[in-house]
Amino acid sequence: MASPCSECRAKLETPLACGDCGVLMEVPNGPGAAQPTPFELLALETAMAIDPEMAKKRLRRYTRLVHPDFYAMAGDEQRARAEAHNARLNAAYDLVIDDMARADWLVLHLGGPTEKELGAMPQSFLMEVMEWNEILEENAPGSQCLANLTEELRQHRDGLMGSVTAALTPLPEAGAPVLQDVRKLLNALRYVDRALARATGAAAAH
């Protein structure tokens, strides 16, 4: 994490701004620049398991330092910096609070494969996906069959995400083979999430 403050030399909680003197920090930008991570922006430990309430508290605290409304009377450079910092902060929060996005980021951060690099799914799993799609297409919203599928998908998702969390806790070494296993689990989770979205969407429409 960036430290100390370039103005008052106080230790920074977030690389975006100083909590002591309120100065907005200059954050590296552009290709090749060393960007602070989403976890660093929120002063959170880089980990799969996070405390959602703590993340929310950090978001609120640091938003008070960088929100553009507080720089309405500042110069153009300061207003632009506040807008950019506020956007960075919100994007960081959205990522770390989302289990799928957080796991995906960690895999890539540790040098693991992308979704496309391990996109092929086992035939048995694809057959299961086809069965889900048939149930979704053949059953009306509100039907017991659709309710059963929704519960099955939720349990399936919980199991897959539990395996992801276990594999990433503690964080493996960069480039560790387990990152390939996590990527395969995340690819499966995307299928489950799509089916679950269709199932819950149908229930909501009913």
Q: Does one domain contain both 87 and 129?
A: no
Q: Does one domain contain both 148 and 89?
A: no
Decide if 14 is inside a domain: yes
Q: Tell me the residue range of the domain where 62 lies.
A: 1-97
Q: Using alpha carbons, select from 172, 169, 135, 128 the residue that is nearest to residue 150.
A: 135
Residue 24: φ, ψ to 5°: -80, 130
Q: Which two tokens stand for residue 99?
A: 């289990």
Decide if 109 is inside a domain: no
Number of domains in the chain: 2
Write out pLDDT tens, residues 93-149. Answer: 999 999 999 999 999 999 999 999 988 899 999 999 999 999 999 999 889 999 999
pTM of the predicted model over 0.85:
yes
Decide if 13 is inside a domain: yes
Decide if 6 is inside a domain: yes
Decide if 137 is inside a domain: yes
pLDDT at residue 205 tops 90: no
Q: Using a CB cutoff of 8 Å and minimum separation of 24, what contacts does 47-50 make? A: 47/168, 47/169, 47/170, 47/171, 48/102, 48/103, 48/106, 48/164, 48/165, 48/168, 48/169, 48/171, 49/165, 49/169, 50/96, 50/97, 50/102
Q: Using alpha carbons, select from 111, 138, 123, 13 the residue that is nearest to residue 65.
A: 13
Between CA 33 and CA 180 the distance in angstroms is 27
Decide if 112 is inside a domain: no
